[in-house]
Amino acid sequence: MEKTFPELYQKADLLLKEIKKSSSQNVGVFTPPIEDKFKTYFRKMLLVRDALKENLFVFYYQPIFKISDLKIVALEALVRIKVKDKIVSPKEFIDYLEESPYLEEFEDWAIHKIVEKIMKWKIPISFNITPKSIKTVLMIENIRKYKNLFLDSSYFLILEFTERILLDEPQWAKDVIEFLKTLNVKIALDDFGTDYSSLNYLKDLPIDYLKIDHSFIKNIVNNKKIRHIVKLIIDLANNFNIKNYCRGCRN
C-alpha cells in the first residue's frame, strides 16, 4: 500500500509509460514485474537527487591521444557518483538522469565544472549531450555564458552528439550545432558506425570529430572486414577534414 501521494503518482506515471510502450493495450495493471521496475526507478531517482543535493557527482577524465606521438590532445569527461568510498557506475543511473527533471540542474553543474577544468588545464574536454538536452534552450544558454573563454583560444569545449539526436530532431539539431560553432564549441559525432551512420551528417553538418564505436575496435585485430570498415571511416573523415578517434569502453 502506498504511503504518500507522490509514491502513488510515480507508480501511476511509470505504469502509464509501460502502457504507452505497448500499442496493443489501453489499460494496465500494476503487476509484480511493474513493482520491481518501480523499485529500480525509485532507487535511481533517490541516487540522482541525493547526488545533486550532496554534491556527489564527480568527473573522471579519460585521455585522448594523438597516435603519431602519443601526446594527450584532449580529455573526455565521464560522470560518476561517489558515495563515501564507493564509485557508482553510470549504468546505475544514467538512463534515469537523461529523462529526469534533474537533467537541467545536472548539466548546469557539469558544464560549469568542465569549463573550470578546461581553463585550469588548458586542454579541450568533451562532454556527452543527451537527446533531451538539445531540445532545450537552457543547455545552449549554459554554454553561451562561457563564450568569451573559447573564442580566441586553442582549448575549448567539445560536445558529443549521437546519431539518435540527429534522427529525432534533424533541423533543430543542425541549427543548434551551427550556433554552437559560432561560440568556438567543437562538435563530435559519437558512436559512429552504429544506427544509420548517414553520410548526410558528414556532408551537411560542421562536425569536427568522428568517434568510431568501440564495437568495431574491439575485434579489429582478428576481423579483416572490420579493419577495412575502420580504414574506410578514417579515410572518409580525413577527406572531410574531420579528426577521428576510437571510442573507448565506458563502464
Q: Which domains does the chain have, with CATH numbers?
A: 57-246 (3.20.20.450)
Nearest to 96 by CA among 130, 67, 69, 70: 130
pLDDT in tens, 210-220: 888 777 778 88
Is pTM beyond 0.85? Reply is no
Local confidence band at 248 (pLDDT 50, 70, 90 cut-offs): very low
Residues whose CB is less than 8 angstroms from the CB of residue 13 and which lie 6 or more positions away in sequence, other chains included: none
Distance of CA 111 to the CA centre of its chain: 12
